[in-house]
């Protein structure tokens, strides 16, 4: 026991870790050394690759379908500003996702990309002595480029090209030709142009070229569809896009008025309104001329008056001209006259009353100085002014001919006694009030034939979950899952290399340590029986009051013998390890 104590107490100093590692590495065979070195190199490569992979930016498209000139200019600017970039297999220019908008703004401030077309900047670098033909060609190219840039500013247009055919001016009026233009549009996927936008492009090109009528402008899209023909077809069919838009504006205006009056009462999502308007776009002119006679004498006014009066002397009947008529007249005698009308015989006529002969009808016939009767004739013509009215009426377009409106009101939400949600119909009195409010808001006119229908029905609940993306399809979640899988894959590869390649090599390099860990639990390892013996000796050497009993020592010796009989190789390795440590 004393010898054991001396041996344990005389331990040599520890080895250098590098020397111990070199000695352990030399224990490996040539094949094991190669496997171990390959495993260590692979592990280092995986760790470095994982670090670089984690630092790799998320690339996004900056621009696509760039021309060679624009691509070279943009790449030069990105290199000057030390902005990382690369090209994809499809030719798109990629930059880190967190710098896409910043780079686009910087490039836009420098006028990039130009889109492979030139504008009026082509005229800025004119050389001295250029011919008139070349100058005209450059002007036409610049005008085409400027028009294409302007058209590309429309939201639905991705790119555009404009071709102008401008004829040479002629001195003969009959031989003068009008210019023509063609516009090729490349629209974004899923985008279209309405009739108003097509008409706007047509008039834009027409107004930019002198003497170019809008009918000579042709507009095409990337599929070859003739867009400029749409407006002409509508015009030929009697459908004007502006009239259709006016109908929609009228309907939307009425719907908005109804919404504004019902929203505070029912809530924005508790009713739906639709209005159909019948608009009269016919334009009529009417001219009417009316006359009204004079009603009272006081209101009469004479325009012209004409009075005609004639008097004729009736000749007395005479005999046949002869001897008697040729005789000289006899002396005059006083004639026997009758009293005037209204007088009695022997009384003179009153002043102012005519003297005449009374005929059989009792009418006094006037007589002349010779006593011959006189016939008179009077004719009076009076023209009165008439009340004349001329009315010229011109009825404007866009009059509302008829309105039809439909309103659906949702049931009210409520809960029952158990707290379960339910819906209830709106009372008839409130529905009547809603009907009256809608009538006033839409301008209901019965004489015009307007109709209104207000119904109360429960709405079907919309499942919003159907519109939401599943968790596994959400782009953010997919990005997180990719990152997690990336690190899990790296960890799995490292674990595989350690278990299959590195750990067996370590067992070969440090066998005593692994064997001791294996048998430490049952007391058969170096820290078990033999460690207990050594420890007991150390304790006995350090403290004289502490003594090892014979029974415990015998039990440990017996266990050591059993372990040596059971696994002699492990015992031999332990003894070799002790001898190597003590020998150094």
Task: Tell me the HSE value of 244 on the side-chain side, using a 13 A CA sphere.
Answer: 11
Give me the pLDDT at residue 409, please. 93
Q: Produce one character per residue of 387-403: b if its CB has 16 or more CB atoms within 10 Å, e if not.
A: eeeeeeeeeeeeebeeb
CA distance 401 to 450: 9
What tens digit of pLDDT does each residue of 330-383 get? Answer: 665 555 554 544 444 444 545 545 455 555 445 555 666 666 667 778 888 888
SS3 sequence, 164-181? EECCCCCCCCCCCCCCEE
Neighbours of 219 (CB within 10 A): 25
What tens digit of pLDDT does each residue of 7-50 get? Answer: 443 444 455 677 777 777 777 777 777 877 887 888 788 788 77
**Which of 517, 529, 518 shows the shortest CA–CA distance to 564?**
529
Average pLDDT over residues 252-274: 92
Locate 268 and state its tokens.
Answer: 């924005």
Q: To the nearest whole percent, how much of the chain has pLDDT over 70?
A: 70
CA distance 178 to 168: 10
More confident residue, 539 or 564: 564
Average pLDDT over residues 534-552: 46
Q: Does position 276 have pLDDT exceeding 80, yes or no?
A: yes
- Among 176-180, 274-278, 389-393, top mean pLDDT goes to 274-278
Q: Does position 100 have pLDDT exceeding 50, yes or no?
A: yes
What CA–CA distances, in Å, run from 469 to 258, 444, 466, 479? Answer: 35, 45, 8, 15
Locate 419 and state its tokens.
Answer: 């707290």
What tens digit of pLDDT does each residue of 413-442 get? Answer: 888 888 788 888 899 999 999 999 999 999
Locate 511 and state its tokens.
Answer: 């066998």
Whether the CB-CB separation of 260 and 381 falls below 8 Å is answered with: no
More confident residue, 316 or 307: 307
Average pLDDT over residues 479-487: 79
Average pLDDT over residues 154-162: 88
CA distance 536 to 542: 10
Q: Does position 329 have pLDDT exceeding 70, yes or no?
A: no
Q: What is the three-class DSSP state of 467?
A: coil
Chain centre to alpha carbon of residue 384: 72
Whether the CB-CB separation of 402 and 408 falls below 8 Å is answered with: no
Give me the pLDDT at residue 437, please. 94
Arithmetic mean of pLDDT over the chain: 75
Greatest CA span in the chain, whole angstroms? 226
- Among 412-426, 505-519, 564-578, top mean pLDDT goes to 412-426
What CA–CA distances, in Å, run from 374 to 7, 310, 362, 377, 423? Answer: 195, 10, 16, 10, 111
Whether the CB-CB separation of 454 and 438 falls below 8 Å is answered with: yes
Chain centre to alpha carbon of residue 207: 27
| DSSP assignment letter at 95 | E
Q: Does position 565 have pLDDT exceeding 50, yes or no?
A: yes
**Which of 461, 374, 384 shows the shortest CA–CA distance to 423?**
461
State residue 403 phi and psi, 5-degree precision.
Answer: -125, 140
Average pLDDT over residues 163-172: 84
What CA–CA distances, in Å, run from 210 to 107, 146, 163, 381, 564? Answer: 35, 15, 15, 70, 113
Q: What is the three-class DSSP state of 378?
A: strand
- Only one residue has tokens 């005789």, namely 327
DSSP string, 271-320: EEEEEEEEEE---EEEEEEEEE---SGGG--EEEEEEEEEEEEPPPP---
| DSSP assignment letter at 226 | B
Count of residues making up the chain: 584
Which residue pairs, CB below 8 angstroms and at least 24 apart, start in 48-53?
Answer: 50/486, 50/487, 50/490, 53/486
CA distance 549 to 541: 14
Whether the CB-CB separation of 526 and 516 falls below 8 Å is answered with: yes
Which pLDDT band holds residue 524 (cuts at 50, 70, 90)?
very low
| DSSP assignment letter at 524 | -
Which pLDDT band holds residue 237 (cuts at 50, 70, 90)?
low
Helices (H), 56-99: 68-80
Q: Produce one character per residue of 476-509: b if its CB has 16 or more CB atoms within 10 Å, e if not.
A: eeeeeeeeeeeeeebeeebeebeeebbeebbebb
Which pLDDT band holds residue 445 (cuts at 50, 70, 90)?
very high
Give me the pLDDT at residue 403, please. 94
Give me the pLDDT at residue 367, please. 62
Whether the CB-CB separation of 160 and 152 falls below 8 Å is answered with: yes
Q: Does position 457 have pLDDT exceeding 60, yes or no?
A: yes
CA distance 268 to 409: 11
Q: List, in order of start, the domains of the chain with CATH numbers.
A: 2-52+487-583 (no CATH), 57-116 (3.30.70.1530), 131-239 (3.30.300.30), 243-283+390-461 (3.30.300)
User: In terms of pTM, does the model score above 0.85?
Assistant: no
Give me the pLDDT at residue 502, please. 74
**Which of 39, 38, 32 shows the shortest CA–CA distance to 509?**
32
Neighbours of 209 (CB within 10 A): 21
Contacts of 249 (CB under 8 A, 6+ apart): none
């Amino acid at each position: 026991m004393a010898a054991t104590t001396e041996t344990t107490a005389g331990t040599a100093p520890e080895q250098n870790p590098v020397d111990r590692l070199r000695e352990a590495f030399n224990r490996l065979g040539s094949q094991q050394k190669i496997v171990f070195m390959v495993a260590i190199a692979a592990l280092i490569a995986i760790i470095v690759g994982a670090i670089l992979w984690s630092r790799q930016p998320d690339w996004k498209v900056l621009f696509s379908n760039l021309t060679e000139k624009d691509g070279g200019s943009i790449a030069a600017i990105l290199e000057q500003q030390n902005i990382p970039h690369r090209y994809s297999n499809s030719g798109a220019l990629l930059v880190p996702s967190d710098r896409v908008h910043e780079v686009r703004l910087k490039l836009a401030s420098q006028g990039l990309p130009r889109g492979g077309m030139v504008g009026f900047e082509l005229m800025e670098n004119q050389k001295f002595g250029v011919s008139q033909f070349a100058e005209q060609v450059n002007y036409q190219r610049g005008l085409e480029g400027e028009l294409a840039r302007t058209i590309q500013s429309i939201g639905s247009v991705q790119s555009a090209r404009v071709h102008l055919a401008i004829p040479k001016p002629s001195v003969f009026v009959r031989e003068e030709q009008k210019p023509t233009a063609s516009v090729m549009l490349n629209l974004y996927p899923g985008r279209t142009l309405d009739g108003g936008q097509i008409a706007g492009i047509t008039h834009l090109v027409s107004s930019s070229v002198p003497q170019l009528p809008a009918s000579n402008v042709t507009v095409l899209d990337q599929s070859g569809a003739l867009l400029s023909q749409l407006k002409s077809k509508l015009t030929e069919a009697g459908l004007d896009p502006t009239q259709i838009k006016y109908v929609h504006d009228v309907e939307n205006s009425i719907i908005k008025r109804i919404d504004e009056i019902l929203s505070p009462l029912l809530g924005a999502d508790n009713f739906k309104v639709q209005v159909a308007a019948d608009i009269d776009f016919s334009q009529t002119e009417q001219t009417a001329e009316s006359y009204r006679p004079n009603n009272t004498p006081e209101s009469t006014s004479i325009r012209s008056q004409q009075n005609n009066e004639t008097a004729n002397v009736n000749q007395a009947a005479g005999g046949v001209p002869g001897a008697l008529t040729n005789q000289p007249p006899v002396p005059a005698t006083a004639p026997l006259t009758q009293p005037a009308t209204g007088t009695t015989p022997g009384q003179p006529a009153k002043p102012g009353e005519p003297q005449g002969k009374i005929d059989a009808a009792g009418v006094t016939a006037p007589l002349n100085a010779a006593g011959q009767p006189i016939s008179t004739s009077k004719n009076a013509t009076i023209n009165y002014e008439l009340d004349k009215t001329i009315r010229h009426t011109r009825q404007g377009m866009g009059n509302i001919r008829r309105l039809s409106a439909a309103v659906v009101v949702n049931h009210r939400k409520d809960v029952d006694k158990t707290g379960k949600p339910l819906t209830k119909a709106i009372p008839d009195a409130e529905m009547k009030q809603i009907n009256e409010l809608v009538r006033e808001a839409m301008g209901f006119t019965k004489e015009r034939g307007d109709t209104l229908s207000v119904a109360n029905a429960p709405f079907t609940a919309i499942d919003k979950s159907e519109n939401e993306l599943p968790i596994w399809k959400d782009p953010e979640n997919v990005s997180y899952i990719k990152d997690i899988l990336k690190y899990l894959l790296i960890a799995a590869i490292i674990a595989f290399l350690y278990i299959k390649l590195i750990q067996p090599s370590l067992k070969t390099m440090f066998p005593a340590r692994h064997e001791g860990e294996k048998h430490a639990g049952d007391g058969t390892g170096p820290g078990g029986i033999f460690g207990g013996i050594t420890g007991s000796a150390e304790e006995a050497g350090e403290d004289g009051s502490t003594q090892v009993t014979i029974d415990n020592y015998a039990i440990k010796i017996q266990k050591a013998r059993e372990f040596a009989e059971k696994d002699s190789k492990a015992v031999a390795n332990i003894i070799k390890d002790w001898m190597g440590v003590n020998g150094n």
